[in-house]
Amino acid sequence: MSLLWRNDVGSGTAGSLIAHRIATETNYTFIVLEAGGKGNALFDIPVLGPLLHGSVYDWLFQSVPQDNACLAMRNKKCTLTQGKIVGGSSKLNNMVHVRGNISHYVNWFHGIHSAKYIASQFEFIEKELLHINKLLYESELADAVIHAAEELGHKIKSDENYFGKSMLSQRKGGRWSTSDNLKAEHVKTNALVQKVLIRNNAAYGVQVLKSGQEIECYARKGVIVSAGTYNTPKILQLSGIGPKNLLESLEIPVFKDLPVGENLQDHVTTGLDLVLFDNSLSVNALNVLNVMNIFDYFFNGQGAFTSPGCEAVGFLSTKNESMPDLQFMVLPVGISSDRGSHLRKTLSIQNHIWNNYFEKVFDKHTATILPIVLHPKSKGTVYIYTKNPNIPPLINPKYLSHEDDLAVLRNGLKMVIRFVSTKAMKDIGGYLNRIPFPGCEKHVLFSDDYLNCYIRHLTLTSFHPVGTCSMGLPDSNSVVDTSFRVFGVKRLYVADGSVLPTLPSGNINAAIAMMASVFFDTNIGNIRNTKLCYVSTMYEYIYNICIVEKL
């Protein structure tokens, strides 16, 4: 009997996709270990997605205090929501499906895979594993922003720089994740993987905490870590794989000195509730209480409950170049919409900021056009500071530590201001929130100095962390090779967002799904369909020595 190990948030997009393909395309027996719990049908209602933020289905990560960002948040810490649930963060996101720039993915694999091959992977997952659909319900804002883009001379088509309505991973109105392909018999929940077991420079299993009991699962051919950009480096470091100085300082035996936890990158943004309306849009907080919308969703798979939170996306260059450096996400409802009952708490906004800015627009309908830095130059770290596997790592994204990121966001806000000033936006009653942001009152409203101050205070993440176990060539400051194998440790693989060496040009879920499909074809499909038996690539998955009944 053989067993596939999935750990922590291992049933996220990558882990679930790999597990599903093993289940349907091989005869291997496997198990998915998930640190979180199972969801239910209510969790798949798109409009309720934000309610899972800050819940028991969220890892509740926060950054360390930031020097240059998150000044409006308590203790200068940014909230870093990540899903602790079957499906991982794909159960908490906006469901937006963006392929991104395929040439970047060719660079990830250093030319081993062609653009045509990568495009075929996207086609495969979109046709077979994800349900990609158009918006089923939208507010007036979606069309208004697209018309505003046309008014300003931007393209409304699918090339590098464009605006368009969101494409979603959605089925019959509900949220759809790769984990929805899994059978319950393959998933063991509330099972926290503590570390990888290593002997003679080879992984031979994992240590799991389940119901207060530590269980060891031994591997016959390979261990896959698919715990996400924050938890994967934590597990590897606890296992003795990581920066030597860090591990020695914690008296952890060093199996392999690698830059695990470095190169953290994230899509940073700003601009909450910057767009106001005197009258409510058709997507608003009251939709959740409307009995007709409840009926329309459960019986027809239609209506306001299908709203993903992001109705349109745009990709523009602030430098008049063909390659965009900004993404825009159009959100029809602001955080002021629930009067501070939930959204304010999940972002951990300071009281005086809330009282003197957001609370003052309770009589308005608030919306947001988020400008997002696609390729930030600021890079951070994820390091453990204790040997206790129950303690989260120290996450320091170092947001806006590079001045170029601040400049891109500042230019992005100027574009938002231009958008709101168009006839298309004015026709639906849109205008700018001109309340000076607390802490920035000394600056002229919307001047460069004001925008810099505003950005550093109201710094937000798009929840798109990557890079902490970066893929690359040997001796290139990477953690895994282009076949996802951890350098210097046999039979150990990483397949999740942590291996992406750079951020995709857009929401990361599609890119991670593509990467996971490449992982399967490279390490499982090719081996299964050939007679090659090289020890370095033979992959049969974790042997079931642990007592499955205890899991």
The per-residue pLDDT for range 147-202, each reduced to its tens digit, is 999 999 887 766 667 899 999 999 999 999 999 998 888 888 999 999 999 999 99
Name the DSSP letter for residue 488.
Answer: T
pLDDT of residue 530: 36
Question: What is the residue extent of each domain of the chain?
Answer: 1-64+80-120+175-265+379-399+464-516+535-551, 137-172+268-373+401-458
Task: State the greatest distance between any 2 C-alpha atoms of the chain, in Å, as a whole number.
Answer: 71
pLDDT at 9 over 50: no
> Could you tell me which residue, 294 or 91, shows the higher pLDDT?
91
Give the domain 137-172+268-373+401-458 fold.
Cholesterol Oxidase; domain 2 (3.30.410)
* pLDDT digit string, tens, across residues 125-146: 999 999 999 999 999 999 999 9
d(CA 537, CA 526) in angstroms, rounded, equals 10
Helix (H) / strand (E) element for 249: namely helix 244-249
Q: What is the domain class of 1-64+80-120+175-265+379-399+464-516+535-551 according to CATH?
A: alpha beta
Strand partners, 296: none
Contact 551, 162 (CB under 8 A): no
536-548: per-residue pLDDT in tens?
Answer: 222 233 333 343 4
With CA atoms as reference, report the closest residue to 49 among 154, 170, 160. 170
Same fold, 1-64+80-120+175-265+379-399+464-516+535-551 and 137-172+268-373+401-458: no
Burial label for 55, CB within 10 Å (0-12, 13-18, 19+), is middle
- 424 near 430, Cβ under 8 Å? no
Give residue 187's pLDDT. Answer: 86
Mean pLDDT within 348-368:
96
Both tokens of 144, joined, read 């208004």
258: tokens are: 């690698």
Query: How much is the pLDDT for 26?
Result: 86
Per-residue pLDDT at 340: 86
Q: Which residue has the tokens 């001045």?
A: 403
Q: How far is CA 489 from the centre of its chain?
A: 27
> CA-CA distance, 199 to 491, in Å (whole number)?
11
Average pLDDT score over the chain: 90
Q: Which residue carries 């009152």 as its tokens?
A: 441
